[in-house]
Structures are given as C-alpha cells and as structure tokens.
Structure 1
C-alpha cells in the first residue's frame, strides 16, 4: 500500500506513465503533462532543493494561488522528508511570517516576496514565479523558479519520507496551533473518498482555489495522486469561470462561499422579472411536473445554465465545510447538482458518522 504522496506519484508514473496527469493554461493555451513527466520533474526539483540545503524535517513555505509549480515543488519537499506550509497570498501574513521565520520560501508574485522581506525573514532560498515588479538582482537569495530549476543537473535523490511524516502544515488563525497532516492521514482519507465517490482515472478536476486550505489537500490533491485522474489549473483566478466552461470538469470541490459565487454569477444571467422568458424559467424549474415539462425544462433552461457554469459534465460535486445556504441548496438542486458535504475532521459542524454523499439526480 502506498505510504507517501511522492510514492503515490511514482506509482502512477509506473502504471499510467503516458496518461495525462495535469494541464495548466498559459496565454490561452492548455499544456498537458503526463504522469511520467511529472515524476521526472519532481525528482529534479527534489535534487534542486537538496542542493539548496533543504533537508529532512525542513519546512517549505508556499505563498501562492493554485499553480502547478507550487504543487510540484511541494511534492519535491515531501520527497526529501520535509513538510510544506501553505499560505493564502491575499492575506496579511507578516505577523505569521515574523513568528515562523521561514528558511525556504516560494512566493507566487511581488506581493508575497514583499511580505517575506517586511517580516525580516532570514530566508536561505526565496523563489518567485511571477517576476513583474521585482528586482531580483538586488537580493542574492531571490531567484526565479525557472532559473533555479534550470541550473540543476543532479539526479533525483533517494525518497526518504515516511507515512508518519508531516506532509502539510496549515495555520488557520494566529491564536490556534497549526494543523499538521501526515502522509498516512491524507492517503487514508483519500481511499475513503475514492470508494464513496467512486472516483477513478477518467475524472477531470479543476484546481481553481488557493492551496492554503486543508480541504484542498484532503479532497483534491491527495485523491488526484491516489486515483490518477487529470488535474487542471486555470490561467488565473479571473479566468477560472471561462476555463471551467472550456474543460467541463467531472469533479468540482468548493466551499459554501464558492458555490454562492457561482449561484450569483448564474442568477445575473437569468431573464428579467416580468418577461415571458422569466415566466418560462420559473415554469421549467418548478419541481415535479410531467415528462414533457421536465424534458423542456432540461433543454431550455437547465442544460444552458449548466453549460454557462461549466457543470454540464459534472458527476461529483464536493462541498467542504459548512453546508450550503437554503437558497443555494435549492438553486443547485433545481439544476440536479447536490454537493456531497465532507466536513473537516474536528469541525464543529462535522457529524459523528461518515460524510453524507448525495448524488446528483438526473433531470
């Protein structure tokens, strides 16, 4: 049985090496990567980290939105037996950074780099993905991710992580201790999710949210490595809705807030009240009705709305955290989308039993 996240990656590379593992979008073009390519790159990244002084039980701090580079570097740190701390770039992180004093940091853009500098962190390695606004020459510890990786020629080092090793560290609030998730905890949870949701290698998932949430690690990243499906990264947060429509993912992971955002976005596109189209919408979306009414409602209303939302192929909608508001639940249920609610362990909202999964009903 697979014991760590990097070993899960290596297993997928050995069994499904040529299959598409990941896609990322740059300048409007999707770039696919196979499992074998990902395993090779993570091995190179592990060698680069080792050359930079990263060792077992060190921590890599990542300040980034969902980016493929951030994910692969995280796996490389875990390959070496280290842990990964994920932080949200949209927050004021300076008090936390002053306390953590990270030695190894990946910051997506200038704002993250600036926060590390203002926290007077003694970073031995400070990598960035987007160099706009940065003067890398003024700081010897500041290096572009691509330049840093290109300078590594060493072979992949030995994999040293263990099942009990910490894989991810999450800081929810300053007054609470950090949450640490081991490789074993993540993989055990992924096996339960795969069995309950019947996830397999044919799924298409979209990684549209910031990684700084344990739900992403538990219910998206680890299941991706375990099941071997394709994980897609939008070009930017602003393009995620367009990219979702292009892809038509079969698996979506969201929170109450992200589902509410989609609901608001869809309602803005509904017919104006008082119009014939608006009356047709309410007639078609009303529960029940005969077969003809359901058929017309599907093709005239539900299917176009699902296309707009990028959910026309959706099979597994997942919800992490608090349940949807009654209004959102009713709206998505009218489209045949009923997110399965997976509570974080220890959440005050979590039930004592296993997570309840409500499958989308056909319409």
Structure 2
C-alpha cells in the first residue's frame, strides 16, 4: 500500500481519530485523519493548478511539521517526485543543490530561510513556484512566483483545530523534533505514521522542543542518530549534576536514589512513558544502554 492509499485507509477506518498535533503560537493544534485527507486533496488541487504533475519534482526544506507532510502527500498523489534538502545549507551550497536537483516546485519552512533562497535562485535555476510556510512580512515583489501555504490551500488555514488537552496519556503518541537536515528522515516519519495509524506530534520550534516534549509525553521517538545523541547528552548532563549534588556513586545503579533520580530525569526530558525509540534498520541488536534505560518502565 503506497503512502497516499494508507492515508485514505486511515481516513476511512478512523476518520475522527487524531492524526497530527503541532504546537503553534503556544497552543496545541490537532488534525483528524479525515482533516488530513481533505487538506491533502485541497493541496493537490492547488499544486495541479500551479503546474505540478507526474514530471515535476517538489523540494522540501524546513522543520518537519504538518504543512510539510501534507504537501509531500499531496505531491505524491499527483505522481510527482518528492525530495528534501537540508534547511541549514549556506547560499552557495544551496545554489549547487538547486543545479543538481532542478526542482519545479519548492517549499521552505519559514520566511527566515528566504534570504539564502533568494540569493541561490538569483544565481541558479529558479523553480516554477516557491511555497513559504510562514512568510510573515516577506515583500511580494521579491519573487515573481511564490505563494504562502495557506494560499495554496485555498486561502484557508487548514483543518487544524485548537486542541484542548483531551488526549489520553495511555495512547501511543509518535514524536518528531527533526527537519529536512535529517537525510531520509521524511521516509522514516511517513512509514511509521502511516504504517501505524497513530498520532504524530511536533514541537513549536527547536528551541521549545524539550518543553513541548515534556507536555506531550510521547511514547515513541522518531529521532535521527544525531537527535538521539543530543538526548543522550542531555540525560548524561542531568544525571551527572544530580550525582554530584547527592554524592551518589555512579556504580550503584540499583540504589533506590538512582531509580528515583532516573525517573525524575525521564519526566523532565518528556520521556517518562517511552516505549520505543526508532533505530536504523542497519543497526540490529540490543539498544544502546541509555535508550534501554529510558525505555525501562519503573517497577
């Protein structure tokens, strides 16, 4: 079953179940499976009107969040190729990537990326359409053919709903705080999200990821190896500080104080109910010790 057919499946069998969550301007918003399908269909119609078809290539650059996933699904439903590009590339590397990939359509995650893209397009191949997720005060005269995401969607802001904290913390909740700098990460997200039918959540920004992760308390983490290393470093720093404060020997992992501190560390990191951390298929075997520790439920 391809990605778009998987979306249709979940919209049919679980139309009102939550599919996506994203924190925006301090509030959690949610999309049901039927909302995701409807928005993807509207986006496909908008992309078709702007020339995207089976011979086109959509290039995505920015943090992973619902707008990016919806565009990827919409483009694939039209038979277009979808590629992703590191959103931290400097202008010259960006220009070289544009020459190599030759995208017909481009999506960038925010107006903050605009200066680099403007410089790269000026000296390289210009896409037919540039879509900006949050253009802000971007002057319309800067590019002859660009649209905000909401305009492509049809002038609306999508089917998202402000979410009261109704979700059950017993439910499976996928979590990602990555972006297109994670090579292959988009396929990991689509595979686990559409393959499982579980809700997938995103933080408001990289800077708020720890706080938002703590609020969401996810059960499954979809993190790149670099993201996992960052979480490991946070855990190690937290526990090292507490060990010094409590004069707790590192060689006593079964001490009741060690258990209490690790439990508190899990809560502060937002992984208190963690059950799974994504691992690359080429890395079978036992999970790294720090992940196994995070996944270990209190007795």
TM-score by length of 1: 0.69
Give the match for residue 210 of structure 1: 179
Match of 1:145 in 2: 149
Shift of 1:116: 4.3
The alpha-carbon distance between structure 1 residues 322 and 119, as it changes in their structure 2 partners (threshold 3 A), is: farther
2:159 is matched with none
Listed as ranges, the gaps of 5+ residues in structure 2 are 157-169
Check whether the contact 1:108–1:130 (CA below 8 A) recurs between aligned residues: yes
CA distance in 1, matches of 2:33, 2:243: 53
**Structure 1 pair 34–273 and aligned structure 2 pair: CA distance change class (3 A):** closer
Name the structure, 1 or 2, with higher relative contact order (CA <8 Å, separation 6+): 2
Q: 1:215, 1:320 within 8 Å by CA — same for their partners in 2?
A: no
**Aligned residue for 2:72?**
74
Matches within 5 A, 1:286-297: 286=253, 289=254, 293=255, 296-297=257-258
- What SS does structure 1 have at the residue aligned with 2:222? strand
Deviations 1:162-195 (A, max 9, x none): xxxxxxxxxxxxxxxxxxxxxxxxxxxxxxxxxx
- Flag the structure with larger Rg: 1
Cα distance in 2 between the residues matched to 1:277 and 1:230:
39
Distance 1:125 1:137 in 2: 14
Question: Which residue does the alignment assign to 2:63?
Answer: 65
**What is residue 288 of structure 2 aligned with on the other side?**
329
Q: Does 1:269 align with 2:238?
A: yes
Is residue 253–residue 318 contact of structure 1 (8 Å, CA) maintained in 2? yes
Instruction: Compare 106-115 and 233-242 and name the one that shifted more.
Output: 106-115
In 2, distance between residues paired with 1:62 and 1:276? 46
Q: TM-score, normalised by structure 2?
A: 0.83
State the shift of 1:150 in Å: 2.2
Q: Who is 2:166 aligned against? A: none
Cα distance in 2, alignment partners of residues 67 and 332 from structure 1: 25
1:95 alignment partner in structure 2: 96
Name the structure 2 match of 1:121.
Answer: 125
Matched, 1:50 2:19: no
Number of aligned residue pairs: give it: 279
Give the conservation status (yes or no) of the 8 Å contact 1:58–1:82: yes
Deviation at 1:274? 8.0
Corresponding residue of 2:13: 15
- Once the two structures are superposed, residues 84-120 of structure 1 have per-residue CA deviations (whole angstroms, 9 ceiling, x without a partner) of 0111111232211123332211112342532542443
Deviation at residue 267 of structure 1 after TM alignment: 3.0
Residue 316 of structure 1 aligns with which residue?
Answer: 276
Indicate the residue corresponding to 1:195 in structure 2: none
The 1:275/1:296 distance shift into structure 2, 3 A limit, reads: closer
In the alignment, the residues of structure 1 paired with residue 39 and residue 229 of structure 2 have an alpha-carbon distance, to the nearest angstrom, of 37
Q: How does 1:214-293 map to 2 (within 5 A)?
A: 215-270=184-239, 272=241, 275=244, 277-279=246-248, 282=250, 284=252, 286=253, 289=254, 293=255
CA distance in 2, matches of 1:263, 1:274: 16
Backbone CA RMSD of aligned residues: 2.8
Q: Which moved further from structure 2: 266-275 or 129-138?
A: 266-275
Q: How does 1:190-209 map to 2 (within 5 A)?
A: 202-209=171-178
Once the two structures are superposed, what CA deviation does each residue of 1:227-278 show, in whole Å capped at 9, x if it has no partner? Answer: 1100001101111111111111111122332222112223333354884613
Quote the residue 2:164 is aligned against. none
